[in-house]
Amino acid sequence: MARAVVLGVDSSTQSTKVLTIDVETSDVMAEGRAPHSGADIQDPAEWWNALLEAVHQATAGPFQVIGLAVAGQQHGCVTLDAAGQTVRPAPLWNNVAAAPDAERLNAAADFPAAVGSRLVASFTIAKLAHLARTAPDELARTAAVCLPHDWLNFRLTGELATDRGEASGSGWWSPREGRDRRDLLALAIGAETAERVRLPVVRGAVEPAGALLAAAAAELGLPAGIPVGPGTGDNMAAALGVGAAPGELVVSLGTSGTAFAVSDIATADETGEVAGFADATGRFMPLACMLNCTRVVDTIAAMLGIERAEALERAGAVAPGAGGLLLLPYLAGERTPNLPTATGTITGLTAATATPDLLLRAAVDGVAAGLAYCVEALARLGVTAPAITLTGGGSAHPTWRHAIADATGLPVTVRAGGEHAARGAAMQAAAIVRGESIDAVVARWRPAVTAVAPPRLERREAFALDARRRMIAAAREAGSGR
C-alpha cells in the first residue's frame, strides 16, 4: 500500500530541493534536487523547470502525495502582466542595484515603524522603485507583483497567495498591523500604480494557498486538487524545520548567512541591521542577513582549483586567525552591515601569510566574524539566547560549526534532517492535511540533535572582531554604505 506523504519544497537561489515525508512518522522517504543558474537575476521559468525535475525525482517511489508547500528565497521581485505572464526576469534578494532606491524610500518614510525594517536593496519594494526609475514602460505593463515563492504558488494553484513570513520581506506589508501599506508602495511606484497593481493575498499559517491545478498536476505527476500550503520564506521555513521556539537563536549557512529568532514580540531596528519580519507560525522573526556566506569559501576554492569539501578540510586544519591574515568577505556588497557597494578586503598579507590554506582559513573566519556581527545586532534589540542552532548546507561541516561557535562564543547545535527549509515547508503541508496547528506539528517533528560544537573561548580573540568593526566603520566613512 502506498504511503501517504507530503512534499516540502525549498526553491532557493542556487537550486530547488524537494523532500518526500511520511505524514504520520515524519520520516524522509525520498528527495530530489535540480539546479538554478545562480545568477542574481533569474527567469522564473528556471524555478518551475527545476521544481518539475526535483518533484519527479522525489516521487519516483510508491507514494500517495496528499499535500505540498513551497518555501522560497525571500525578497525577489516578480512582475506579471494582465495575462499572468512575467514582464521581465526577476532581480533576486542579492541583487544590489536598488540600493539608492532603498535609501530614497527610507528618506521619505519611517519604514522601521511602518513595517519593522529599514529598507536595503534586497526588499521587493526597493526593487519596484528601481523598476519605476529605470524601466517605466515595464512598470506600466505590470498588473501584479509578488515574491518568488508566491509566483510558484500562482503556477501551482492559480491563486496569487503568500503568508505572513514572506509578505514581511516585501517592504509594503506590516507585520505589526497585519496589512498591506499601499501608501508606502505609492512612494515607490506612484499612487495610481500602487492602487491598481495586484498584490498577493496573505494567508494564515495553515490556510491553503489553493488546490493544485489540473494542468500543474499533469506536469508534476501529482494528483490534481490536493492542497497547496501558503508556503513561506526560506528562513521562516528553516525555523519550522529545526523546531525553533521563542528564546532560541538560529544561524543559517547558505548562499546568504542569517541569524534570527522566533519571537512573540514585533521588533523594529532604526539602524536597519535587523529586519523585523513575521514568521510562519503567527509570531515574529527578527533577522540579520549577510549576503556573503558559504560562497565566499566556494569562490576561494574555485580560484585554487579545488572542491568545497577539500577547501573546508584544509581551512579546518588551520587555527583561527589565519596567521594574521584578515578578510572582509564582501564579494557582492553587503547587507549587514549595509555596504551595498563594498568589495572584499584583505589585510595582513605578507610573504609568510600568502599561502592557499591561510587564505581559505581567512575566508571561513571572515564569514564567521560577519555572522557574529549579526548575532550582536540581534542582541542590541534584546534578542539573545544561550546557544545557537545551526542550519543550512554549511551546518553539515565541522569547520563551519566550530568557527561559528568560536566567533560568537556560544555553543552550536546541529539537528538532523539537513534540508530544514524543505522540511519546514513539509511541516506546513502536514498541518493542513491533518487539521493540526503548526505548533503541534513542529513539536512532534522536531529533529534530534546530531552534533554539538562548544565554543573555545580562548580562540575568539583570533577572529579580530574589534579590528573588523574598525574596517567596517572606515568603509562607511569612505562612502561605501549609506
Secondary structure element (H or E) that encloses residue 42, with its range: strand 41-42
Query: Rounded CA gap, 151 and 181, in Å?
Result: 20
Secondary structure class of 330 (helix, strand, coil): coil
Start-end of H helices in 243-355: 294-304, 308-316
**Which among 76, 95, 108 has a CA at the least distance from the CA of 189?**
108
Rounded Cα gap, residues 271 and 277, in angstroms: 15
- Between the CA atoms of 300, 254, 47 and 154, what dihedral angle is there, to the nearest 10 degrees? -150
Q: Which three cell numbers stand for residue 365?
A: 573566519
For residue 235, give the nearest of 179, 163, 177, 296 by alpha carbon. 163
Among the listed residues 108, 65, 28, the one whose alpha carbon sits nearest the alpha carbon of residue 217: 65
Cell numbers found for residue 435: 487539521
Q: Residue 410 CB: number of other CB atoms within 10 A?
A: 21
The reply to whether 269 belongs to the active site is: no
Whole-angstrom Cα distance, residue 327 to residue 478? Answer: 18
Phi, psi of 56 (to 5 degrees): -60, -40
Neighbouring C-alpha atoms within 13 Å toward the C-beta of 385: 21
- Contacts of residue 355, defined as CB under 8 A and 6 or more positions apart, other chains included, come to none
Nearest to 369 by CA among 259, 229, 218, 479: 259
Q: Check whether the bond before 62 is cis (ω within 30° of 0).
A: no
Given CA atoms 144, 168, 90, 134 in this order, what sign does their dihedral have? positive
Angstrom distance (rounded) from CA 412 to CA 418 = 15
- Beta-carbon count within 10 A of 191 CB: 12
* Residue ranges with strand state E in 77-153: 78-80, 90-91, 144-146
Among 221, 223, 285, 199, which Cα is nearest to 250's? 285
- The DSSP bridge pattern shows strands 179-180 and 173-174 to be antiparallel
Exactly one of 10, 150, 234, 279 is catalytic; name it: 234
As a whole number of angstroms, the distance between CA 409 and CA 463 comes to 11
Active site residues: 234
